[in-house]
A = this chain, B = another copy of it.
Amino acid sequence: MVTASERGREVRRKLLNAALELVPELGWNAVSTRALAERAGVAPGLVHYHFSSLQAVLREAAVGEMRRTLGAAIPEFERAGTPADGIGMMLESLDAYSGDDPASLMFTEAYLVSARDEELRGELAGLLAEFRDGLARWLGEHGQGSPVETASVLAAAVDGVLLHRPLNPALTSSAVAPVLRRILGPDIEGEEHR
């Protein structure tokens, strides 16, 4: 015995999962109402019954996925004893992402769309700020100088590596980790330019 509202929530879930598959496969702007419904195995009209628009489905799917991924990253980080080990662990778990896998592509697609979608931009900025602050706090507690700036650059660098990976197969974690770890070292003297 299944109530109508239970079936409804299941359809919603299937639509969000379909979005998680199709955005990386086709690109955010190439996902259509009908393709989404077909992948979810439901009738096309259901998309606009459960969501206010096609964009709303994609936004909710993207934000949910990123929240899950980033939320799992912080505690994993904290299992490491030192920041240097933390970067190592993070990059190792990052080897699961080739850069052209669904999760990586969803991240980049969302970043890019957020440049033109104010609502998505706000949600992503909040998500990213939360992750960055968590990382910065942990870095600070372990004696890292300029923890906020370091965390910001670290987060950006990791996404940059994912962005470059499909074009540069040499960017494996074992090649990246030693270089990226140096970011935890002391400042390097350099002229300040005007």
Contact = CB atoms under 8 A, between A and B. Distances in A.
Contact of A184 (B156, B168, B188): B188
A108 B163 contact: yes
Interface in A127-172: 128-129, 132, 146, 148-150, 152-153, 155-161, 163-164, 166-168, 170-171
Contacts of A190: 82, 84-85, 87-88, 177, 181
B168 A132 contact: yes
A155 B164 contact: yes
Interface stretch (A4-12, A38-46, A70-78, A113-121): A113-121
Contact of A191 (B85, B114, B171): B85
Contacts of A193: 85, 88-89, 92
Given A27-B112, A88-B190, A182-B186, A156 B163 contact: yes
A21 interface: no
Interface of A: 25-30, 82, 84-85, 87-89, 92, 99-100, 105, 108-109, 111-116, 121, 124-125, 128-129, 132, 146, 148-150, 152-153, 155-161, 163-164, 166-168, 170-171, 175-193
25 contacts: A26-B116, A27-B113, A28-B29, A85-B191, A88-B190, A88-B193, A99-B115, A100-B115, A108-B163, A114-B166, A132-B168, A149-B175, A149-B178, A150-B179, A152-B170, A152-B175, A152-B176, A152-B179, A153-B171, A156-B157, A157-B157, A158-B160, A159-B164, A160-B160, A179-B183
